[in-house]
Amino acid sequence: MDSRVFIGNWKENPKTFKILGVRSRSNTKTTKAPAEDWPVPASAQFIADSYHQASGAFVQALKTQWIDQTLEERIDFLGQKMPNGSLLMFLLLHQNHHRGQMTVLMRQAGLTVPGIYGPSKEEWANFGMEAPKM
């Protein structure tokens, strides 16, 4: 079965890009996200810049608005009470999940995947080495 993504048949879900902003349901006050009707970005550079800006603002908000005890405070997140520390861990793991999805989509589209947790198979080849067998 051919698992490549055929670009001509692919349609972006306009709601996908709203997740680029950090939507914290905790008590950080300086993070923001685009509205759901935000237009699809025109370039990958804009997406990268937006991600770096949002993640930097999120880290800064945590540094300036939270103390160690804030991690223990329980908040309502999507109808479930959880400590802020657990929510932060969830956000990190969820981001990793989506990064994995992106690498699969990039491979299916025939793009070169950059090394994330070490060299990609193309980077091993550039080093003149065979990628380790998994």
The CATH number of domain 7-126, selected from 1.20.120.450, 3.30.9.10, 3.20.20.70, 2.40.50.100: 1.20.120.450
Q: Is the pTM of this model over 0.85?
A: no
pLDDT digits (tens, 9 = 90+) for 17-74: 444 443 444 445 545 666 667 778 888 899 889 889 988 998 898 899 999 999 999 9
98 is in an annotated binding site: yes
The string of pLDDT tens digits covering residues 58-90 is 889 889 999 999 999 998 988 889 999 999 998
Structure tokens at 103: 């690498």
Q: Are 87 and 79 in contact (CB under 8 A)?
A: no
Q: Are 82 and 24 in contact (CB under 8 A)?
A: no
3-state DSSP assignment of residue 113: coil
Q: Is 52 annotated as a binding residue?
A: no
DSSP 85: H
Residue where the block lists tokens 């804009």: 46
